Structure 1
Amino acid sequence: MNYQTELKDDILFVKLHGDLIASSDTQAMVEEVDGSGDGESLLCAVDLSDVRFMDSSGMGVLVSLLTKFRNRGGELVLIKPSDHIRKLLIVTKLNAIFTIAENDSFAAQFLKESIY
């Protein structure tokens, strides 16, 4: 898995590419995202549009990130998960805890409104 991070308007955007499975890359991404802005970032949008496959470890990564942001008073949204990933979220009922945005603009709007 590859990823890029960008801080834009106080929102940390994370773009994932490849398979979201247990690996050293996944752990590095979690640590980088959690430590962004000295661990003070409150808002995060994770773009899953280029994620082909996700296993239970990948789901755990998303839940872990969501928990980290919510524990510090913030929020996390998922952007445009592929059909396969969307089905996994539905089957595991994780769609009930994650907000899913269809694009960056909707994600940014939702995140900004979530903390006010």
Structure 2
Amino acid sequence: MNVESRLENNNFILQLAGDLIGDDSGLKLMGLVSDAVEEGAKNCVIDLSKVRYISSSGIGVLITILTKMRNVGGEVFLSAPSEHVKKLLIITKLNNIFTVYDSLEEALSQIG
């Protein structure tokens, strides 16, 4: 999995590419989120446009990131999931826990 990240106006943006399966990439993502929180991130936007597959461990990573952000008064938003990932979010009812936007641009304009 490839990960690009940046902090923009207190929003931590994670752009993922590949499969989110929760292996070493899960630990890497948690480290990036922890660092971003220390740098003042209030929200985390995870761009899923290039994610092909999410395993149960990958879902665990998303929930762990959500818990970490909510513990500091923040929120996690998902953007641009593929049809396959969208179905997974619906089946697991994660679409009720996460706010999902059609694009990264839409997410950033809505959360400010």
Normalising by structure 2, we get a TM-score of 0.92
Q: Aligned to 1:61, what secondary structure does the other structure show?
A: helix
- Quick one: distance in 2 between partners of 1:65 and 1:25? 13
Which of 34-43 and 61-70 deviates more?
Answer: 34-43
How far off is 1:49 after superposition? 0.6
Which residue pairs with 2:55 in the alignment?
A: 55
What runs of 5+ residues in structure 2 fail to find an aligned partner? none
**Matched ranges for 1:33-48 at <5 A:** 33-38=33-38, 40-48=40-48
CA RMSD of aligned residues (A): 1.4
Give the C-alpha shift of residue 39 in structure 1. 5.7
Where 1:73 maps in the other structure, the secondary structure is coil
Instruction: Give the letter aligned to residue 96 of structure 1.
Output: N
| Percent of pairs with identical residues | 40
- Paired residue type of 2:108: A
Whole-Å Cα distance in 2 between the matches of residues 16 and 43 of structure 1? 16
Q: Give the aligned length.
A: 112
Q: Corresponding residue for 1:17? A: 17
Large movers: runs of 4+ above 2 Å: 109-112
Q: Hey, what's the Cα distance between the residues in 2 that align with 1:103 and 1:91?
A: 21
Task: Identify unmatched segments of 5+ residues in structure 1.
Answer: none
Provide the secondary structure at the position in 2 that maps to 1:19. Answer: strand
**Residue by residue, what CA displacement relative to the aligned partner does 1:22-71 show, whole Å, maximum 9, x if unpaired?**
21122112111222152631111000010011110001111111111111
